[in-house]
Amino acid sequence: MRKAIVGILAVLSGPALAQPVVIAALGDSLTQGYGLPQEEGFVPQLESWLRGRGADVQILNAGVSGDTTAGGLSRAAWTLTPDVDAMIVTLGGNDLLRGIDPAVSRANLDGILQAAAQADVQVLLVGMQAPGNYGPEYKAAFDAMYSDLAAQYGTLYAPNFFEGMGPEGTDPAAVRDFMQADGIHPNADGVVQIVQGLGPDVLDLIAEIPEG
């Protein structure tokens, strides 16, 4: 009887009870899946893509439509619960829409990365590119803050959330079929392209998570 109990305990404590890697996706409507059925949003599609490549992973949807970097900062601490192993940060689009000073956005992102560092959580920081209508100085400051902060904190960095649809400067007409009617948010097919672009970076993020 004793041997049977020991055997059961050995099974229960073995690989069968291995927990999936938990990644929090902190972001705005692009992360949240605005305008799409739940299963077609960024988080479910990314999780499916990763699992299809052998990753035992759970992605938590911490996207809030309309959120700025300030909103993300206000949520960072309670998003980083003890079960979270890593975080994808995709914020800044709404800062652009509001014309917020890049120095303010940078400080907010800095605070998010500080919170992640304090929680000992690995991060993939996903950048955005500012349009030219705010002027070259604004664009230069905004675009550079992501790579600068990634280098400062030693986080992984993906230059553009929309990279899977084409590099910066891609003719908008070329991606029209991948966008919703508002021209801002991707449709389900667009999310497929985005996930294919960002997926390898997330696999790299998973590889950086310490075992155990």
- Token duo for residue 35: 């305008």
Decide: 178 and 190 in contact? Cβ < 8 Å: yes
How many Å from the N-terminal Cα to the C-terminal Cα in the chain?
Answer: 31
**Catalytic site residue from 120, 171, 177, 182:** 182
Q: Cα Rg for the chain, rounded, in angstroms?
A: 19
Of 13, 56, 185, 204, the active-site residue reads 185
CA distances from 203 to 19, 53, 146 (A): 17, 9, 20
Q: How far is CA 46 from the centre of its chain?
A: 10
Taking each helix axis from N to C end, the angle separating 42-51 and 188-208, rounded to the nearest 10 degrees, works out to 50
Q: Which one of the listed residues 28, 29, 67, 143 is annotated catalytic?
A: 29
Instruction: Verify whether residue 48 is a known catalytic residue.
Output: no
Is 74 one of the annotated active-site residues of the chain?
Answer: no
Query: Which contiguous run of DSSP H or E holds residue 166?
Result: none
d(CA 119, CA 22): 14
Kindly give the pairing relationship between strand 156-158 and strand 122-126.
Answer: parallel
Enzyme catalytic residues: 29, 182, 185
